């Protein structure tokens, strides 16, 4: 039997899935690692912990599938966007991975936007001006950590680091490049104005390659560890968001993909680069003729995790003792509360926010709290707030690309019937849940098959996603939400100035400026 492997390098774990050539899962592995958040705006990872996770997950799925010599046709990669690692002249990391969730470049993003230069760059790169983007991170590093910046030989992302360790060369696919804020999506090359603004040169960045590009000649020791042959082609693949669209069969015009994992996103595929005149939406490459237009949110499942850990500690302990999922207990509790949470609103901005408000200073807020509200109201309100936020992103996409004709939803939230129904009710549209397993991994695997000539077109994914669950909007719930959403929007607008004030207070009283390099032990 022949196989391909899709690997997804995520924010808190790396997953690998091995498929046969019909898209049937033959093995799955998941290795977690910490997200270092020692100060309010920091969000870093250890690149070597991630590298170890990558080779461990591949080893595990190869073993589970019982792969024999010659059966593995290719390995393809999905990865989280916007990461930055500074590499020295000896090709050693000077920093940890500075992730998309890191907000320490917030001041420099604001300056770029105020000067007008940010909008000029956005119009060419399709990456919103925000501290998530490497463009802003590099300005911050150059200004506040000049000693490290000046020692840097290469500025790379996490997938580039993995490929360097495996093949000894720095390469970056068009998809991840298009999420840096440094890449001109209309010319398909690094943008000179963006590079000058960041203070870097082309020579300090990886070589650009197609998302279907293949690397061969794997480091033999790693090949032996993973249990594969050194000549197995590794396909660059793309970003996690774009491959998730592919993996849920949301690549036709009008099909909207809604993802809620740790973070979240709303995306649709268009046939050419498009940008928003207000700089609020991203446009990232899937292939040279398929582009993903959408908006990312910081606050998806990570908010639900906060609710679990901070508001439902006893239930979490009980769930662990009973060996059941604490999230299932929480959604059962939330389901007893009516739609709209009896007027309790939650703005889910626990980690600043990207789309729809693009405000790194935004902070979480419960609004409308009374003595009648309970913890059950709070958990439902938190889930609703996440969905309201995604709905606002959908409205922005609709303005540019037209109204969606179909919604494909995926991510960890899709395990919850309550959350799935909530999405249908707020969006007032049928929501389909593909049964494809790990959509970004499947997208990467299909990209591998396409690159290797096993399939002629990416549309074969429609035969691999499996049966879907469908949810129709509940009219009574929809009426509740339509009354509450305008209030939710106004509350966020009224708090904007105070977001900045409270964020300033928090930054003043907690040292945010440290940056952690590799261990010296």
Task: Select from 314, 219, 304 the least CA-distant residue to 264.
Answer: 304
Strands 468-471 and 431-434 come out as: antiparallel
Residue 520 pLDDT > 60: no
Strands 431-434 and 264-270 come out as: unpaired
- Show the tokens assigned to 338: 């009516």
Q: What interhelical angle do 106-115 and 117-125 show, nearest 10?
A: 100
**Integer-rounded Cα radius of gyration of the chain:** 22
Residue 259 confidence (pLDDT):
87
Residue 281 confidence (pLDDT):
97
Question: Would you mind telling me the total number of residues written for the chain in this entry?
Answer: 521
Express each pLDDT in 212-246 by its tens digit.
999 999 999 999 999 999 999 999 999 999 999 99
| 418 burial level (CB within 10 Å; 0-12, 13-18, 19+) | middle
Query: Which of 70-74, 181-185, 223-227, 252-256 bottoms out in mean pLDDT, i.e. has the lowest?
Result: 252-256
Q: Name beta bridge partners: 407.
A: 256, 431
Residue 410 pLDDT > 90: no
Express each pLDDT in 287-345 by its tens digit.
999 999 999 998 999 999 999 999 999 999 999 999 999 999 999 999 999 999 999 99
Task: Select from 298, 265, 299 the least CA-distant residue to 283.
Answer: 265
For residue 518, name the pLDDT band (cuts at 50, 70, 90): very low
Q: What is the mean pLDDT of the chain?
A: 94
Residue 273 pLDDT > 80: yes
Q: In sequence order, which residues have a C-beta less than 8 Å from that of residue 173 and are 6 or more positions away?
A: 159, 208, 209, 210, 211, 213, 236, 237, 238
Report the 10 Å Cβ neighbour count for 295: 25
What mean pLDDT is predicted for residues 138-144? 98
Residue 274 CA: distances (Å) to CA of 100, 126, 292:
22, 7, 9
Express each pLDDT in 9-44 by its tens digit.
998 899 999 999 999 999 999 999 999 998 878 999
Strands 264-270 and 234-239 come out as: unpaired
What mean pLDDT is predicted for residues 75-84? 97
What mean pLDDT is predicted for residues 476-504? 96
* 432 sits in which H/E element: strand 431-434
Task: Select from 208, 221, 98, 206 the least CA-distant residue to 153.
Answer: 206
Return the DSSP state at 227: T
C-beta of residue 3 within 8 angstroms of C-beta of residue 69: no
Residue 521 pLDDT > 70: no
Residue 511 confidence (pLDDT):
54
- Give how far the C-alpha of residue 149 lies from the chain's centroid of Cα atoms, to the nearest Å: 26
Residue 390 CA: distances (Å) to CA of 77, 172, 372, 409:
26, 29, 28, 12
Task: Give me the percent of the chain exceeding a pLDDT of 90.
Answer: 87
What mean pLDDT is predicted for residues 437-447? 93
Query: Which of 374-378, 439-443, 465-469 bottoms out in mean pLDDT, i.e. has the lowest?
Result: 465-469
Assign 3-class secondary structure to 289-346: CEEEEEEEECCCHHHHHHHHHHHCHHHHHHHHHHCCCHHHHHHHHHHCCCCCHHHCEE
- Please state, in angstroms and rounded to a whole number, the distance separating the CA atoms of residues 234 and 105: 33
Residue 162 pLDDT > 70: yes
For residue 435, name the pLDDT band (cuts at 50, 70, 90): confident
- Please state, in angstroms and rounded to a whole number, the distance separating the CA atoms of residues 34 and 49: 9
C-beta of residue 376 within 8 angstroms of C-beta of residue 336: yes
Sign of the Cα pseudo-torsion (130, 261, 72, 251, in order): negative
For residue 514, name the pLDDT band (cuts at 50, 70, 90): low
The HSE-up count of residue 57 (CA atoms within 13 Å, CB side) is: 27
Strands 154-156 and 189-190 come out as: unpaired
- Is 0.85 topped by the overall pTM? yes
């Amino acid at each position: 039997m022949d196989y391909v492997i899709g690997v997804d390098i995520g924010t808190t774990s790396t997953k690998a899935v091995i498929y046969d050539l019909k898209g049937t899962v033959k093995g799955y592995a998941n290795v977690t690692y910490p997200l270092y958040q020692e100060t309010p705006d920091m969000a870093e990872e250890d690149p070597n912990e991630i590298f170890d996770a990558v080779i461990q997950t591949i080893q595990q799925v190869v073993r589970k599938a019982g792969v024999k010599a010659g059966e593995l046709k290719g390995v393809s990669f999905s990865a989280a966007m916007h990461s930055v690692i500074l590499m020295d002249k000896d090709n050693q990391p000077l920093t940890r991975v500075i992730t998309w969730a890191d907000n320490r470049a917030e001041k420099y993003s604001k300056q770029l936007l105020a000067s007008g230069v940010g909008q000029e760059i956005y119009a060419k790169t399709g990456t919103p001006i925000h501290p998530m983007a490497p463009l802003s991170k590099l300005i911050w590093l150059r200004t506040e950590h000049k000693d490290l910046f000046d020692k840097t030989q290469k500025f790379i992302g996490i997938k580039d680091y993995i490929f360097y360790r495996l093949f000894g060369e720095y390469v970056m696919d068009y998809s991840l490049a298009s999420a840096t804020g440094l890449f001109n999506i209309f010319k398909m090359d690094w943008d000179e104005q963006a590079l000058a603004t960041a203070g870097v040169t082309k020579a300090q960045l990886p070589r650009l390659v197609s998302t279907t590009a293949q690397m061969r000649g794997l480091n033999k020791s790693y090949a032996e560890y993973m249990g594969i042959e050194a000549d197995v082609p590794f396909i660059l693949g793309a970003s996690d968001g774009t491959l998730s669209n592919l993996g849920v069969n949301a690549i036709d015009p009008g099909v909207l993909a809604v993802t809620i994992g740790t973070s979240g996103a709303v995306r649709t595929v268009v046939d050419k680069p498009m940008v928003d005149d207000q700089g609020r939406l991203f446009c990232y490459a899937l292939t040279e003729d398929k582009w993903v237009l959408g908006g990312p949110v910081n606050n998806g499942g990570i908010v639900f995790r906060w609710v679990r850990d901070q508001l439902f500690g006893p239930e979490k302990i009980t769930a662990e003792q009973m060996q059941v999922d604490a999230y299932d207990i929480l959604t059962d509790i939330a389901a007893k509360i009516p739609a709209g949470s009896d007027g309790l609103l939650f703005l889910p901005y626990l980690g600043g926010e990207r789309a729809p408000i693009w405000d790194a200073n935004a902070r979480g807020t419960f609004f409308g709290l009374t003595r009648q509200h309970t913890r059950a109201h709070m958990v439902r309100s938190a889930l609703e707030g996440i969905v309201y936020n995604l709905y606002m992103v959908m409205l922005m996409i609709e303005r540019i690309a037209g109204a969606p004709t179909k919604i494909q939803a995926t991510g960890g939230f899709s395990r919850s019937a309550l959350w799935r129904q909530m999405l249908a009710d707020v969006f007032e549209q049928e929501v389909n849940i593909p049964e494809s397993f790990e959509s970004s991994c499947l997208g990467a695997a299909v990209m591998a098959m396409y690159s290797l000539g096993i399939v002629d077109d990416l549309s074969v994914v429609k035969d691999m996603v499996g049966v879907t669950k469908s949810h129709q909007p509940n009219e009574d719930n929809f009426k509740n939400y339509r009354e509450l959403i305008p209030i939710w929007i106004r509350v966020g607008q009224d708090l904007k100035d105070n977001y900045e004030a409270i964020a300033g207070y928090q930054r003043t009283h907690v040292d945010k400026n440290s940056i952690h390099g590799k261990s010296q032990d």
